Each structure stands twice: as structure tokens, then as C-alpha cells.
Amino acid sequence: MNAAPIAEIGTPMQIAFVPDDFDAALRHWTQMMGVGPFFVLENITLDDMRFHGAPSDCRFTIALAQWGDVQIELIRQDNDTPSIYRGDYLPQGGAMHHICLLTADISAARAAVVSGGGLLLVEGKVGADGAVFYADCGPAETRPNAGAVVEVLQPASGSDGFFAMIADAAKHWDGRDPVRVLG
């Protein structure tokens, strides 16, 4: 697979993990790594979500924090639906699950990933006008390859302000209130 189309899609902005123990991972990142505060969004579902082309009702919780120029995401699946957060696409030992690239054109990004040999895993809508997909961009002979998953996000309107709030909170974080659940 030619890596150039993937590299040209958009700006890398996030490293994501699907830890075995979500709460322990939050403690590790806030206490050991000094990253925080984490903002938690619970029971998320994507509109029109598809996993391997079939409708999916995957429900999950995420915790987001900023670490310098990179956002850290921790993910916990909240139901038993087949997904990229379970089974073959769950890296062992808390290793990186995926990276996220931002794009202004999800259709062009999707075409670049598919033409480069990437395997689409998940697609869905984010908010009123955003979209996301996840793809295994590792060589076909190594699939499933959790370490090669790429998330491509065309943010919904208002996401810039949300991401800026997370980054600003990190700049001024004094270690207090390390985990903040958003309603």
C-alpha cells in the first residue's frame, strides 16, 4: 500500500487507546504522565454507524485530554456489539489503538484510503454535519492489525471550539479535578 495518500489526508491530531481498565488508564495518564484534565463523554452512538458495512449500535464512552500538540483519547465500549473496540481490533496490553487525522473532505479522504489499499472498518455521522471512518491501513497479510487503524474525522460544526476548550484546559491545568464528566 502506498502511504502517500494517507499522509496527505489531513493533520494528525490524536492518539487513541482502548485500555482493559478505563479508570486505571485515566489514573495513569493524569498521575504518572501528568496529562489532563480529561473530559468524559458517556454513551456515545454514531448516526448511521456501520461496522464492516453492516448497521451497528455500538455504544461507547470516551475521555479526551490534550498533551502538547496531541489529543489523547481513551475509549471504553459500553455494550457487547461487535466493533473495532473488541476482538480482533483490540490491541493487547493497552497499546495504541488508532490515530486520528482531521480532514475537510471525508469523501476524498475515504477514496484515498481505499485506493491506497486500506480496509474500511467503521463509518458513521458525527453530529449534524460531521462524518468519520476508521480503516485498517496495514498490509492485507497482517490484518486485522489494531496498530494500523486510522480514524479520519471531518469534524461537525462546533468541534473546533470543543477541541480548543480541551487544549486550553490542559494549558492551565494544576492537577485538580483530573476527570470531568460532560453532560
Q: Write the CATH number for 111.
A: 3.10.180.10
Is 95 among the domain residues?
A: yes
Q: What pLDDT sits at residue 41?
A: 97
**Total count of residues recorded for the chain:** 183
- Please give the tally of structural domains in the chain: 1
pLDDT per position as a tens digit, 63-81: 999 999 999 999 999 999 9
Burial track 63-77 (b if 16+ CB lie within 10 A, e otherwise)? bbbbbeeebbbbbbb
Is 125 among the domain residues?
A: yes
Is 179 among the domain residues?
A: no
Q: What pLDDT sits at residue 9?
A: 87
Coil, strand, or helix at residue 37?
coil
C-alpha dihedral (47, 51, 85, 170), degrees to nearest 10: -40
Question: Which pTM does this prediction carry?
Answer: 0.93
Q: What pLDDT sits at residue 11?
A: 84
| Residue 154 backbone class (left: φ over 0; alpha: ψ -120 to 50; beta: rest) | beta
Is 84 among the domain residues?
A: yes
Is 8 among the domain residues?
A: yes
Is 180 among the domain residues?
A: no
CA distance 34 to 170: 10
CA distance 2 to 108: 16
Q: What pLDDT sits at residue 80?
A: 93
Structural domain containing residue 151: 4-174
Is 149 among the domain residues?
A: yes
**Phi and psi (nearest 5°) for 20?**
-65, -35
Amino acid residing at 108: A
Q: What pLDDT sits at residue 4?
A: 52
For the chain, list residues with pLDDT below 50: 1-3
**Phi and psi (nearest 5°) for 111?**
-60, -40
